[in-house]
Amino acid sequence: MKKSIILAMASMLLSAGAMAQTDHSFQKNNWFITGGVSTEGFMNTDGYVTASGKIGAGIWFNPWFGLKLEGVAGGTHLMKEYGGKVFGAHLSYLAHLYGAKEYKPFNLNLTLGMGFYHHETGNALQRYSYINILNGNFGLQAVYNITPRWSIYAEPGLLVQPKYYRPDEKKDVAPSGYLTAGITYTFKDQFKGQGQKVSAAEMEQVQSQLRSMNEENARLRDRVNALEEEQKQQAPVATTATAPTADAAKTLQDAPDYVAFFNINKAYLSEKEAVNLGAYAELIKNHPESKFVITGYADKQTGTAEYNERLSQQRAEAVYNTLVDKYGVNKDQLRTDYKGGVDTMFQENPRLSRAAIIQLDK
């Protein structure tokens, strides 16, 4: 059995070595659009933006240099019980502090910016009905990547601006805390190749490799059985052969492995994968005395160890639930296992590690 495993792995490594490495570097010159809502105050109760909407666009030149330009419109609190309006534009510098080298579900970005704001104060300040100011900000942007292109973020930070709400002190500056939440869409995947789905040709190639491995295992097993039979015939004490029982006839001695692929950061089967599982479900149901194990995997390059462990478990459970709920497989024939994030299993391609494998539980 050890020999069969070694031979199978060697054949996979030889085929993998012939494949070109897949490029998963950061997408440079990647444009994006963004929108969100923001509020100020926390440290300043005299003049601040109560709520504003933001919409803008930007570009990531590389992981450590991005620019974002936003338009801002909202309402303000001015002293006591007065209110006003604010309109403006804000230019921000962006840099990845975490998640710059490879795709991860979570990123942490630095933001440094400067804005031009037009405040309409009405009659609240008596001396003037509007004032234009410049302000600056520093923030940390926590990003969750929903897909390789869509993400949501929360950004707390510090804003420094003149005391426009105090006519006698409008040249002085005051700090305010702010909190912004929003959504971003990049026009290209953040990292090359991350959004690509496993193609039908790649799926077939992997399944073909697994079939070849099982055929090699079967050939080696037949040789071992033949040698054992030869030794029995040469033994001095004759043994009486017993007919196989009905249960033994229903138990598989060998079965091909099956691989179900998943999209990045997802733990649900596509409609195509769910349909493809039907044939394997019939194999399992036709051998009720056989047991099978479903092992989930995740791509080590796209998440923390804890995240990938949970994701691989959920993928194994997704296949298990499809077999039991959709195709009526006896749950007593199945068990699940999970391996967390792994290095590339097939063809040096991380996308092919986002999978769950069904194997005969020997």
Considering just the CA atoms, what is the radius of gyration of the chain in Å? 31
**Same domain for 208 and 146?**
no
3-state secondary structure of 281: helix
Report the pLDDT averaged over residues 181-196: 82
Q: Is residue 5 part of a domain?
A: no
The confidence band for 256, taking pLDDT boundaries of 50, 70 and 90, is confident
Maximum separation of any 2 CA atoms in the chain, in Å: 117
Alpha-carbon span 106 to 118, nearest angstrom: 35
CATH of the domain at 177: 2.40.160.20
Contact between 167 and 82 under an 8 Å Cβ cutoff? The reply is no
Residue 194 pLDDT exceeds 60: no
Is residue 352 in some structural domain? yes
Confidence band, pLDDT 50/70/90 cuts, at residue 112? very high
The contacts of residue 64 (CB under 8 Å, 6+ apart) are: 95, 96, 100
Q: Does residue 20 lie within any of the structural domains?
A: no
Is the per-residue pLDDT at 14 higher than 50?
A: no
Same domain, 202 and 296: yes
Residue 220 has pLDDT above 80, yes or no: no
Compute CA distances 141 → 23, 96, 247, whole Å.
Answer: 27, 9, 61
Coil/strand/helix, residue 273: helix
Look up the CATH number of the domain holding residue 203. Answer: 3.30.1330.60
Domain co-membership, 322 together with 282: yes
| pLDDT of res. 331 | 92
Cα angle value 54/58/60 (rounded, 5°)? 140
In terms of C-beta distances under 8 Å and separation of at least 24 residues, what long-range contacts does 266-269 make, across chains too? 266/354, 267/311, 267/314, 267/315, 267/317, 267/318, 268/318, 269/318, 269/319, 269/322
Query: Are both 180 and 50 inside the same structural domain?
Result: yes
Domain count, the chain: 2
136 and 254 share one domain: no
pLDDT of residue 127: 75
Residue 84: strand, helix, or coil: strand
Band (255; pLDDT cuts 50, 70, 90) = confident
> What pLDDT score was predicted for residue 160?
93
Q: Are residues 134 and 204 in the same domain?
A: no
More confident residue, 193 or 78: 78
Instruction: Let me know whether 146 and 210 are in one domain.
Output: no
Same domain for 43 and 173, yes or no, is: yes
- Per residue in 48-66, pLDDT (tens digit) is 888 999 999 999 999 999 9
Residues 252, 328, single domain; the answer is yes
In a domain, 302, yes or no: yes
**pLDDT the model gives residue 2:** 38
Torsional class of 57: left (φ above 0), alpha (ψ -120 to 50), beta (otherwise): beta
Do 43 and 177 touch, CB atoms closer than 8 A? Answer: yes
**80, part of any domain:** yes
Could you give the CA distance from residue 290 to residue 154 in angstroms, rounded to a whole number?
50
Domain of 89, in residue numbers? 30-186
Whether 284 and 345 share a structural domain: yes
Which residues neighbour 270 within 8 Å (Cβ) at sequence distance 6 or greater? 263
- Domain end residue (candidates: 166, 186, 206): 186
Quote the mean pLDDT of the chain. Answer: 80
Asked whether residue 3 is domain-assigned, the answer is no
Same domain, 211 and 177: no
At 332, the pLDDT band (50, 70, 90 cuts) reads very high
Record the tokens describing residue 121, joined without a space.
């104060």
**What does the block give as tokens for 204?**
């077939």
Q: What pLDDT sits at residue 82?
A: 81
**35 and 165 both lie in a single domain:** yes
- Beta 258-261 vs 106-120: how paired, if at all? unpaired
Do residues 294 and 357 lie in contact, with contact meaning Cβ atoms separated by under 8 Å?
A: yes
What does the pLDDT look like over 125-140, one tens digit per residue? Answer: 777 888 899 999 999 9
Q: Which range has the worst mean pLDDT, 233-237, 246-250, 286-290, 319-323? A: 246-250
